[in-house]
Amino acid sequence: MERPILSSPQNPQLRRVRRWLEKPRQCRTDGVFLADGIHLVQEAIAAGLLCRDLFVDSDRTAAGKDSSASDEITAIVELASSRAVPVHLVLPSLFRAISPVETPQGVLGVFDRPERRERGPAKRTSGGDTTLEEGAGDTRSGHIMVAAGVQDPANLGSMIRSARATGIRELLSTRGTVDPYHHRALRASMGATFRLRVQPELGLDELLEELSRSGRRTLALSSHRGIPLSSLDPDEPSAIVFGSEGHGLPPELEAALDLHVRIPMEPGVESLAVPAAAAVAFYWLYLRNGL
Tell me the pTM.
Answer: 0.87
Categorize the per-residue pLDDT at 222 as very low, low, confident or very high, splitting at 50, 70 and 90. Answer: confident
pLDDT for position 128:
39
70, HSE (Cβ side, Cα atoms, 13 Å): 10
64: which DSSP letter?
Answer: T
Which domains are assigned to the chain? 5-112 (3.30.1330.30), 144-288 (3.40.1280.10)
SS3 content of the chain, % helix, strand, coil (to 5): 40, 20, 40
173's CB contacts (< 8 A; 6+ apart) are: 146, 147, 148, 180, 198, 199, 200, 201, 202
Dist. CA 219–CA 212, nearest whole Å? 13
- Please choose, from the candidates 174, 186, 8, the residue with its C-alpha nearest in 3D space to the C-alpha of residue 100: 186
Q: Tens digits of per-residue pLDDT, 253-283?
A: 999 999 999 998 888 888 899 999 999 999 9
Q: Tens digits of per-residue pLDDT, 76-106?
A: 999 999 999 999 999 999 999 999 999 999 9
Dist. CA 117–CA 143, nearest whole Å? 18
1's CB contacts (< 8 A; 6+ apart) are: none
Categorize the per-residue pLDDT at 223 as very low, low, confident or very high, splitting at 50, 70 and 90. Answer: confident
Dist. CA 239–CA 257, nearest whole Å? 10
pLDDT for position 61:
81
pLDDT for position 288:
79
Dist. CA 70–CA 81, nearest whole Å? 16
102's CB contacts (< 8 A; 6+ apart) are: none
Strand 197-202 to 107-112 pairing: unpaired
Is a pLDDT exceeding 80 seen at residue 289? no
C-alpha separations of 210 from 86, 144, 167, 206 in Å: 38, 11, 20, 6
pLDDT for position 1:
59
Dist. CA 136–CA 120, nearest whole Å? 6
In the chain, % of residues over pLDDT 90 = 77
pLDDT for position 62:
63
Q: Tens digits of per-residue pLDDT, 189-215?
A: 999 999 999 999 999 999 999 999 999
For 108-122, what is the mean pLDDT?
72
pLDDT for position 117:
55
pLDDT for position 120:
42
For 234-244, what is the mean pLDDT?
94
For 54-72, what is the mean pLDDT?
78
pLDDT for position 285:
92
Dist. CA 195–CA 82, nearest whole Å? 24
DSSP 3-state of 112: strand
208's CB contacts (< 8 A; 6+ apart) are: 253, 256
270: which DSSP letter?
Answer: -
Q: Tens digits of per-residue pLDDT, 151-195?
A: 999 999 999 999 999 999 999 999 999 999 999 999 999 999 999
pLDDT for position 97:
95
